[in-house]
Structure 1
Amino acid sequence: MAQAMKIAIVDDEQDMRQSISQWLALSGYDTETFSSAEDALKVLGPDYPGIVISDIKMPGMDGIQLLKKLMGADSTLPVIMITGHGDVPMAVEAMRVGAFDFLEKPFNPDRMSELAKRASSARRLTLDNRALRRELSGGTQIMNKLIGASPVMERLREDILDLGQADGHVLIDGETGTGKTLVAHALHAVGSRAGKKFVLVSCAALEEEALSKRLFGPMMPEDAQLPAIEEARGGTLVLEDVEALSDTLQARLLSVMNDQGTPAETRIVAISNLQEAGKTSEDVLRPDLFYRLAALRITMPPLRQRGEDILTLFTRLSEQFAEEYGCDAPQVSAQEAAQLLQAPWPGNVRQLINIAERAVLQSRRGSGTIASLLMSDHEEMQPVMTTEGKPLKEYVEAFERMLIDNTMRRHKGSIASVMEELCLPRRTLNEKMAKYSLQRSDYL
């Protein structure tokens, strides 16, 4: 349920303030009253979470002056003016300044409620759009995709926020399927280049001549795009599979980086996806290029090191696929939860995504198990286990957290329904939610 919209009532007459406040409170609004425009301005800021109803004729600062101040601070704030009988010129002036509408005394309370409803809807839309713009500009939306409460994920998010504010080039490495490209997007989104170009080039997808042309030019007149170095100027250039660059192209890239100076005009984020056993990006990149790129470095944690994040990710992914396919998400048993936690996950998050989708599809058909999906991915592995053992307590706690999380989501935060389904007294449920950092507000 959405939080009640606030309504600030500004009127020097106490009886009028109280009557308006009581009527609107009965309609479900959260009201606050002010006896003067001066007092109101101490509270009414640019992001005030509501609307304003103000009398026009007041001692000291009148309603028109208050309206001008409010419009100067936030021109989208809906202000409804109350005018005396026959004060048409004042009403016209108020509308010209930016009032949402006006009420003429004596007014019909139902008319006031209808105006308050329309103004509140407009305000909510404005605030939601404003929050969305801030979220996108701040990179919050992308950061929220980096799901997980494990220590390695907490550290990863901190590193992204720190490195995002820096100017240097970045090297991202780690196992396949760990989300390196997502992190490159996040680095761009949380930094000073967020509003600039983000250009991604896969170095392994092109032959050397075509890659050289794509990166550095020259482009032919018929080519629709600029060379990537020019296209990304002032922004971020992401080089996937940077290890695929030949010695010649590595030298040319280093020359461009040296010409830019420090701080770099264009940030280069290099992603290393080495597949050869025992090889690292340091082994295949020329030393001077490697050290320029690796001055700032992020190594992605493999999924098998992320503990109960595996269950959290599986739950979110299966819910998304269930919604896409129009069916219920599969319920994970304690045994299946342990199998998910114990699997080696060589394909990391990318593999988990595939398993979650296939689990939803087979659940829709009413057949198959999660264990069978894991085994089909690793037929040579009997049984599906990692070499890293964990205490039984960790498996139990991970499953317990997942079970409470799933049940809270299914019941949209209804504590009573969760208590009934899990046969838990309220105090025990509260203690477990606090233990696992689960907030009821996240499920409403």
Structure 2
Amino acid sequence: MAQAMKIAIVDDEQDMRQSISQWLALSGYDTETFASAEEALKVLGADYPGIVISDIKMPGMDGMQFLKKLMGSDSGLPVIMITGHGDVPMAVEAMRVGAFDFLEKPFNPDRMSELAKRATGARRLTLDNRALRRELSDGSQIMKKLIGMSPVMERLREDILDLGQADGHVLIDGETGTGKTLVAHALHAVGSRAGKKFVLISCSALEEDALSKRLFGPMQPEDSLLPAMEEARGGTLVLEGIEALSETLQAKLLSAINEQGTPGETRIIAISNLQEAGKTCEDTLRSDLFYRLAALRIMVPPLRQRGEDILTLFTRLCEQFAEEYGCDAPQVSAQEAAQLLQAPWPGNVRQLINVAERAVLQARRGSGTIASLLMSDHEEMQPVMTTEGKPLKEYVEAFERMLIDNTMRRHKGSIASVMEELCLPRRTLNEKMAKYALQRSDYLG
């Protein structure tokens, strides 16, 4: 769910504070007021979950001093300054220091509401990006995103932990939508470079000349970024879609790798997105570059090889979308569970995410089935199934595990409630939880 945004109102005039607060409260904002900048600074630290509206002329610490303090603590905090008539030069100076915008007295309340809306939107985006960066730099958190108990996922996590500690360049291969970029983040986050720079470049998103300058320079004087090879020095440079590099850029990249001597300077993680049947990254890259980049290699498994992980992922995704849309998650029947397990998933996890969101939207409307979402748009709309069948026992066990997992999650680990809903005696439930590696402690709270 989106974080609720606050608005801090700082003004030495009580009537002004109250009128602004009342107007914004009527617009649905959570406000708090302060009679001085000094008082406000006790509360407004970095990552304050909202924005600030401040008068520019106040006794003690004035608005400009206050603004500089706030910018020093958190340059991404939107601050709207209130100025008196004739103080426009001061307002312009405030914008130069870092103010989001300014309001000139007497101001239009609707204009203030519009500014507040834009500022809180910008603040929410800033805080979300910060949270994502923190999450992507936290090895333990990012490894939790690699959900699954299947042997191929256990192996993938082991490979990430092993190769994350190594220093060689890495090639990540796998089908589209399998989560290769997430694996690249994980490799960076679990190793010694976790606190260093992580630079991600999509090789197919830029024209050759622009890509060459972004990777190797020279950058234009007005550019704020260093060339990626230099920007990522000591950290990790991820080249997504490595096969899109032209022969010329492949030669430049190989030269840059050779010049830096050891991977210790800039570790390169190359991600291959080849879709052509029978083609590999080795076929596309010059051999000397390929063997430098593929010193270490990770293959991300397709979703269809992950067995009951499909049901675990689908359930988690439905819960997330249900929370986002404010409705209940759809209940999966035994038949639908079997269909989810049998589907070929050419789009892999990315496709599963789309199906889960549509399933939640269907459930909210009270129409449609999961099965309908798994039907092809050709071949007379027959359900799409894999050609490789599984023993019935595997489907039954996968559904049973999903059912117990969902029920435990819904009842927050209450064994008595789960026993009652599933009509299972305590001993049977304990045996099945042990069989499926389900721990009560994982559901508490």
Shift of 1:224: 1.6
Query: Larger deviation: 336-345 or 126-135?
Result: 126-135
Residue 150 of structure 1 contacts residue 309 of structure 1 at CA under 8 Å; is this kept in 2?
yes
CA deviation profile, 1:185-244 (whole Å, cap 9, x unmatched): 000000000000000000000110011011111001111211111111110000000000
Residue 330 of structure 1 contacts residue 360 of structure 1 at CA under 8 Å; is this kept in 2?
yes
Residue 322 of structure 1 contacts residue 360 of structure 1 at CA under 8 Å; is this kept in 2?
yes
Residue 10 of structure 1 contacts residue 35 of structure 1 at CA under 8 Å; is this kept in 2?
yes
Mark the runs of 5 or more structure 1 residues left unpaired by the alignment: none
**Structure-2 change in CA distance of 1:426 and 1:38 (3 Å):** farther
| SS, match of residue 375 in structure 1 | coil
**Structure-2 change in CA distance of 1:179 and 1:88 (3 Å):** closer
Shift of 1:275: 1.2
**Structure-2 change in CA distance of 1:184 and 1:85 (3 Å):** closer
CA deviation profile, 1:330-357 (whole Å, cap 9, x unmatched): 0000000000000000000000000000
> 2-side partners of 1:29 and 1:301: how far apart?
46
Q: Which residue of 1 aligns with 2:216?
A: 216
Query: Larger deviation: 119-128 or 377-386?
Result: 119-128
Q: Give 1:40-189 correspondences, 5 Å limit.
A: 139-189=139-189
Instruction: Please list every run of at least 4 consecutive aligned residues from structure 1 whose deviation after the TM superposition is greater than 3 angstroms.
Output: 1-138, 376-383
**Structure-2 change in CA distance of 1:135 and 1:174 (3 Å):** closer
> 2-side partners of 1:394 and 1:130: how far apart?
42
> 2-side partners of 1:136 and 1:320: how far apart?
19
**Structure-2 change in CA distance of 1:110 and 1:199 (3 Å):** closer
**Structure-2 change in CA distance of 1:42 and 1:387 (3 Å):** same
**Structure-2 change in CA distance of 1:133 and 1:86 (3 Å):** same
> 2-side partners of 1:362 and 1:98: how far apart?
45
**Structure-2 change in CA distance of 1:8 and 1:397 (3 Å):** farther
Shift of 1:117: 39
> 2-side partners of 1:125 and 1:205: how far apart?
23
> 1-side partners of 2:253 and 2:178: how far apart?
26
> 1-side partners of 2:250 and 2:98: how far apart?
59
Q: Which residue of 2 aligns with 1:34?
A: 34
> 2-side partners of 1:113 and 1:430: how far apart?
56
Shift of 1:423: 0.4
| SS, match of residue 376 in structure 2 | helix
Residue 136 of structure 2 contacts residue 186 of structure 2 at CA under 8 Å; is this kept in 1?
no
Residue 376 of structure 2 contacts residue 384 of structure 2 at CA under 8 Å; is this kept in 1?
no
**TM-score normalized by the length of structure 2:** 0.70
Residue 10 of structure 1 contacts residue 36 of structure 1 at CA under 8 Å; is this kept in 2?
yes
CA deviation profile, 1:1-33 (whole Å, cap 9, x unmatched): 999999999999999999999999999999999
Query: Larger deviation: 24-33 or 379-388?
Result: 24-33
Shift of 1:262: 2.5
Residue 376 of structure 2 contacts residue 382 of structure 2 at CA under 8 Å; is this kept in 1?
no
> 2-side partners of 1:78 and 1:179: how far apart?
34
Shift of 1:384: 1.6
> 1-side partners of 2:110 and 2:204: how far apart?
67
> 2-side partners of 1:31 and 1:367: how far apart?
41
> 1-side partners of 2:36 and 2:291: how far apart?
64
Q: Which residue of 2 aligns with 1:285?
A: 285
Query: Larger deviation: 422-431 or 77-86?
Result: 77-86
Residue 83 of structure 1 contacts residue 105 of structure 1 at CA under 8 Å; is this kept in 2?
yes
**Structure-2 change in CA distance of 1:213 and 1:60 (3 Å):** closer
Residue 378 of structure 1 contacts residue 384 of structure 1 at CA under 8 Å; is this kept in 2?
no
Q: Give 1:356-371 correspondences, 5 Å limit.
A: 356-371=356-371
> 2-side partners of 1:212 and 1:363: how far apart?
48
Q: Percent identity, please.
A: 91
> 2-side partners of 1:176 and 1:44: how far apart?
44
Query: Larger deviation: 378-387 or 157-166?
Result: 378-387
> 2-side partners of 1:250 and 1:43: how far apart?
52
Shift of 1:377: 6.1
Residue 3 of structure 2 contacts residue 124 of structure 2 at CA under 8 Å; is this kept in 1?
no
Residue 172 of structure 2 contacts residue 180 of structure 2 at CA under 8 Å; is this kept in 1?
yes
Residue 318 of structure 2 contacts residue 330 of structure 2 at CA under 8 Å; is this kept in 1?
yes
> 1-side partners of 2:332 and 2:368: how far apart?
12
Residue 345 of structure 2 contacts residue 352 of structure 2 at CA under 8 Å; is this kept in 1?
yes
> 2-side partners of 1:104 and 1:13: how far apart?
16
Query: Larger deviation: 101-110 or 240-249?
Result: 101-110
Query: Larger deviation: 324-333 or 128-137?
Result: 128-137
Query: Larger deviation: 234-243 or 118-127?
Result: 118-127
> 2-side partners of 1:428 and 1:34: how far apart?
60
| SS, match of residue 237 in structure 2 | strand
Residue 179 of structure 1 contacts residue 349 of structure 1 at CA under 8 Å; is this kept in 2?
yes
Query: Larger deviation: 373-382 or 96-105?
Result: 96-105
> 2-side partners of 1:71 and 1:439: how far apart?
46
Q: Give 1:208-247 correspondences, 5 Å limit.
A: 208-247=208-247
Shift of 1:277: 1.3
Residue 336 of structure 2 contacts residue 371 of structure 2 at CA under 8 Å; is this kept in 1?
yes
Residue 135 of structure 2 contacts residue 142 of structure 2 at CA under 8 Å; is this kept in 1?
no
**Structure-2 change in CA distance of 1:104 and 1:390 (3 Å):** same
Between structure 1 and structure 2, the one with the greater Rg is: 1
Shift of 1:295: 1.3
> 1-side partners of 2:224 and 2:106: how far apart?
66
Query: Larger deviation: 179-188 or 92-101?
Result: 92-101
**Structure-2 change in CA distance of 1:73 and 1:366 (3 Å):** closer
**Structure-2 change in CA distance of 1:59 and 1:172 (3 Å):** closer
> 1-side partners of 2:299 and 2:120: how far apart?
47
Residue 174 of structure 2 contacts residue 301 of structure 2 at CA under 8 Å; is this kept in 1?
yes
**Cα RMSD between the aligned structures?**
10.6
Shift of 1:259: 1.1
CA deviation profile, 1:395-421 (whole Å, cap 9, x unmatched): 000000000000001111110110000
**Structure-2 change in CA distance of 1:415 and 1:49 (3 Å):** farther
Residue 257 of structure 1 contacts residue 264 of structure 1 at CA under 8 Å; is this kept in 2?
no
Query: Larger deviation: 407-416 or 136-145?
Result: 136-145
